[in-house]
Structure 1
Amino acid sequence: MNKLLCMLELQQKLNDATNGTGWEKGVTKDGKPINWRRCIYMESAEMIDSFGWKHWKSIAQPTDYDNLQIEIVDVWHFVMSLVLEFSNKAESIEELSERMSQTPEYQKLNTSIPLTFGSDVLLMTRIENVMRLSLIPVSAEMVGALVEEFFDLAYLGALNATELYRLYVGKNILNQFRQDHGYKEGSYIKIWNGLEDNAVMKNAWELNPDMSPEELYDALKEAYPA
């Protein structure tokens, strides 16, 4: 299975369902402007809170590596969306996937060997590099550099291609579940019996890593407190 192609196709499908077809022009079906770069740097800022970076507060706070990986996958949604918007049918998703998969940075992820976390200093540097790139105007060079920087971040975040795929699919299904249960309307419940829905999703995968996406959706539906 081509994991990268599958993720790009799922992201296209999710964006079509959430924002309406034609979202690549930068506007949702409701006429609201889309800014994927802003999504990337705002989510990256949330990622930094996985570290005990505040020298004046909670100085003994350990790094929350589980949350860090979830936040990396959140940013991946928006990186792929920016790539899809920029290509805007100039090349097929298959061609896009093939080009991205040939980068040396992705090749490092394409291994069955479990990866280990890089140092907090290196991780923070990569996160801030992603933020820096997302703040400059879009160009082919910017998009290419952003994708490569993201893959390096995933590598330091101990996510090989399989783990990135599994967490992405989990979050993709969770996002679908959120949309189906009142996320846009504000009625969605994010804390389920003391756990954030992201953690519930990740625990479900760990209990049954062979689940299909449909089975994961059913597991979320069964656990939802409403």
Structure 2
Amino acid sequence: MDKILLMLQLQAQLNDATNGDNWTKGVTKNGKEINWKRCIYMECAEMVDSFSWKHWKSINQEPDWDNLQIEVVDVWHFIMSLAIENYSQTLRGQIEDLAINISSMNSFSNIDKKSELFASQKDIIANVENIMLASLSKDELDLDALISDFFDLVIMSGLDLETLYRLYVGKNILNQFRQDNGYKDGSYIKVWDGTEDNVIMKHIWEENGDIQPDVLYKELTKLYLALTKS
């Protein structure tokens, strides 16, 4: 419950900072429409590209498990945003109510257990496509089913509540770091010596499970300065 609540709060804070106070009404501070469902299915498409699904290209290439897990976390950003927006627009309650309801779901109990095993490529892609179908549907949103499918994906991707939480917080810090280093004006370098910054952030967490968010930010700064000065 605590980790779910904290992630929802962090996501709301991030959305407030980047989109303005009216983002739950579906519009940014600049008047641009927000479509969280589209964000979800577009990220899901990137997730599928973690696998060599193309029958005409790189057919023997191994799955990119690191990228898969990063994409799972990215989808989680947008599912949480959609859920907060939905609760606000339907008057179902506040973030605390959403956290309580998510934590009471049967599928949540499954991710609250340590997991490091990956499912098969076929099964993962099938699950991802279910999430895409839900986000593409014109029917009324079944939020609980969407979150349940996502929690199944968490397990299939070798993650659990603890690792999902750590990667989410890490990505939150990375997003802040990007904004502080020219992401909006296009000057930020996303690939560091051939490795995407997402993966570098993930490896820092894996090498030091007790690292604090402010220390993670400092580590990213040190590596980025070395990159830009070289």
TM-score higher than 0.5 here?
Answer: yes
CA distance in 2, matches of 1:200, 1:153: 23
The CA deviation at 1:115 is 3.4
**TM-score after normalising by structure 1:** 0.95
Contact kept, 8 Å, 1:136 with 1:142, in 2: the verdict is no
CA distance in 1, matches of 2:195, 2:85: 34
CA distance in 2, matches of 1:45, 1:158: 19
Task: State the one-letter code of the partner of 1:155.
Answer: I
- Tell whether 2:123 aligns with 1:122: yes
The CA deviation at 1:114 is 2.9
Match in the other structure for 2:14: 14
Identity %: 54
Runs of at least 5 residues in structure 2 that lack an aligned partner in the other structure: none
Deviates more, 1:198-207 or 1:75-84: 198-207
CA deviations on 1:69-118 (whole Å, 9 max, x unpaired) are: 1111110000000001111173121111010011111110011x333111
**TM-score after normalising by structure 2:** 0.93
CA deviations on 1:171-210 (whole Å, 9 max, x unpaired) are: 1111111112121211111011221100110111122111
Contact kept, 8 Å, 1:4 with 1:97, in 2: the verdict is yes
Pairing partner for 1:99 from 77, 84, 101 = 101
Give the direction of change, closer, same or farther, for the CA distance of 1:8–1:194 in structure 2 (3 Å limit).
same
Over the aligned positions, Cα root-mean-square deviation in angstroms equals 1.4
CA distance in 1, matches of 2:212, 2:97: 26
CA distance in 1, matches of 2:144, 2:162: 22
Aligned residues: 224
Structure 2 counterpart SS, 1:88: helix
The CA deviation at 1:138 is 6.5
Runs of at least 5 residues in structure 1 that lack an aligned partner in the other structure: none
Contact kept, 8 Å, 1:105 with 1:151, in 2: the verdict is yes
Structure 1 counterpart SS, 2:149: helix
Contact kept, 8 Å, 2:115 with 2:155, in 1: the verdict is no
| Deviant stretches of 4+, over 2 Å | none
CA distance in 1, matches of 2:14, 2:107: 26
Task: State the one-letter code of the partner of 1:101.
Answer: S
Task: State the one-letter code of the partner of 1:173.
Answer: I
- Tell whether 2:181 aligns with 1:174: no
